Amino acid sequence: MWFIRRMMRISWTEKKMSNELVLKEANLERSLLKTIRQRQLQFLGHVCRHKGLEHLAITGKIEGKRSRGRQRITFIENLKSWAIGKGSNNNFIRLTENGFEWRNMIANVCSRQGT
């Protein structure tokens, strides 16, 4: 947001000009859902690049009994369903290991219509 204010020469101390008004004046729109999905993908990339308990929990490799009934949709399955469509978990996790490719994929997913 600060770069838009700077381009339009609006001081950040100016109380009359809220962020929403700045966006409206610049003819831009901030989508909450797009921001949430982008941050979820960034978090997934961060966790998957570091091997630890968080990585095990996200990938679902913790040993133990599963509860009866239909399995819950996991965090990674939810992200995979709208990020890259149907594919294997291994490809999704492997893609996170290369930070440059992962950031490009995040940018492509967030720039698509309907995201």
Structural domains in the chain (count): 2
98 and 52 housed in the same domain? yes
Chain segment 77-115, per-residue pLDDT in tens: 777 777 665 455 567 778 888 888 888 888 887 777 555
Judgement on whether residues 66 and 21 belong to the same structural domain of the protein: no
Residue 16's domain comprises 1-30
pLDDT in tens, 51-67: 888 877 777 777 777 77
Asked if 38 contacts 110 with a C-beta cutoff of 8 angstroms, the reply is yes
Both 72 and 104 in a single domain?
yes
Residue 86: predicted pLDDT:
46
57 and 107 share a domain? yes
| Residue 17: pLDDT band with limits 50, 70, 90 | confident
112: closest CA among 33, 48, 54? Answer: 33
Residues 41 and 78 in one domain: yes
Structure tokens at 45: 């990339």
Considering the chain, what is the average pLDDT of its residues? 78
Highest mean pLDDT among 4-8, 72-76, 108-112: 4-8
Do 14 and 41 belong together in one domain?
A: no
Alpha-carbon 114 to chain mean position? 15
Q: Find all residues with CB under 8 Å of 103, minimum gap 6, and list them.
A: 45
Neighbours of 59 (CB within 10 A): 17
Residue 68 sits in the same domain as residue 12: no
> Whose CA is closest to 42, among 88, 87, 83, 85?
83
Residues 91 and 101 in one domain: yes
